[in-house]
Amino acid sequence: MSGPPPLGPGAPAAERLAAFGRARLEFLVEHAALARATLDPGRPAPIEDSPSLFHVRMLLNEAVPEAARSGALALQLVAALEGPVLLYLRAPGDSGTAPHPGTVVDDLATSWEDLIGRVCGR
């Protein structure tokens, strides 16, 4: 919500969404053990209190107001950036070799940026 562009104000909303997604994914992968520990499958995620949801909704409203009107698109996009995405990644203790964290971030962030470009018509 603040800081230098493209994360903070001063860049177009679609660029800010792309940068936010990359930063969020970097954070999750860097702190994977902590993020995994916070996941409790027996409890619903308190999404209504999510700062990420607020931020993505705000940027979508600026970038594509018609598509953002119901809030469902923001919710779906934020779901791709929250802790449960880590359940799809192999941890170092899993069978097989875990991918390098940098590769994971690059792959996910590239896909996120493509998705945002398509959603925002870039």
CB of 16 within 8 A of CB of 6?
Answer: yes
Dihedral of alpha carbons 69, 75, 81, 85, sign? negative
Instruction: Report the C-alpha gap between 77 and 53 in whole angstroms.
Output: 9
What average pLDDT score do residues 6-32 get? 91
pTM, 2 dp: 0.79
* pLDDT tens-digit series, residues 57-107: 999 999 999 999 999 999 999 988 886 766 666 555 555 566 676 777 888
CB of 43 within 8 A of CB of 86?
Answer: no
Indicate whether 108 pLDDT > 80.
yes
